[in-house]
């Protein structure tokens, strides 16, 4: 299940991408427009800024803006920043692999095989969707 953090992050990015001007937009403006709690959005946008998806400017007229064009921001990147691994189990994660403690043989594990398919299909969708595609 997608967390509210990721859902709100995607909504905020889409809001910024829809703006005709790429000048900074205040957190309060985004929060009000997308019905997102202000403090929660502040933490989400900060995380996206730390990962170079957003830039920010302080002071009067400050706020957040996209660092890249919407067609370059992949949903797989946003998901990994806000949600973590795309795989549902660590034993099938491409970037965060960990062996399951209860599994003796991953190759014979039916859960592993299923989750590899889920990961591959989810990854294919997220890799092929950009912020521009959501607009």
Q: Is 50 in the same domain as 87?
A: no
Q: Give the residue numbers spanning the domain of 36.
A: 4-66
Residue 11, pLDDT score: 97
Q: Is 62 in the same domain as 87?
A: no
Single residue among 20, 37, 66 that ends a domain in this structure: 66
Q: Is 98 in the same domain as 128?
A: yes
Q: Is 54 in the same domain as 79?
A: no
The per-residue pLDDT for range 79-104, each reduced to its tens digit, is 999 999 898 888 888 888 888 888 88
Q: Is 29 in the same domain as 62?
A: yes
Q: Structural domain tally of the chain?
A: 2
Q: Tell me the helices (H) and strands (E) count for the chain, helix number first.
A: 5, 2
Q: Distance (Å, rounded) from C-alpha 79 to C-alpha 95?
A: 13
Q: Distance (Å, rounded) from C-alpha 89 to C-alpha 112?
A: 8
Single residue among 66, 82, 115 that ends a domain in this structure: 66
Q: Distance (Å, rounded) from C-alpha 130 to C-alpha 54?
A: 15
What number is the average pLDDT over the span 4-17?
A: 97
Task: State the chain's mean pLDDT as an integer.
Answer: 92
Global pTM value = 0.88
Q: Is 49 in the same domain as 76?
A: no
Q: Distance (Å, rounded) from C-alpha 112 to C-alpha 132?
A: 33
Residue count of the chain: 135
């Amino acid at each position: 299940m997608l967390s509210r953090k990721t859902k709100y992050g995607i909504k905020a990015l889409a809001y910024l991408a829809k703006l005709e001007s790429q000048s900074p937009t205040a957190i309060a403006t985004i929060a009000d427009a997308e019905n997102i709690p202000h403090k929660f959005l502040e933490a989400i946008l900060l995380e996206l800024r730390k990962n170079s998806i957003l830039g920010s400017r302080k002071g009067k007229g400050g706020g957040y803006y996209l660092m890249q064009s919407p067609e370059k921001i992949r949903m797989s990147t946003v998901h990994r920043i806000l949600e973590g691994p795309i795989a549902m189990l660590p034993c099938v994660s491409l970037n965060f692999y960990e062996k399951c403690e209860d599994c003796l043989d991953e190759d014979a594990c039916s859960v592993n095989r299923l989750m590899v398919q889920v990961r591959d299909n989810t990854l294919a969708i997220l890799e092929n969707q950009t912020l521009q595609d959501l607009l």
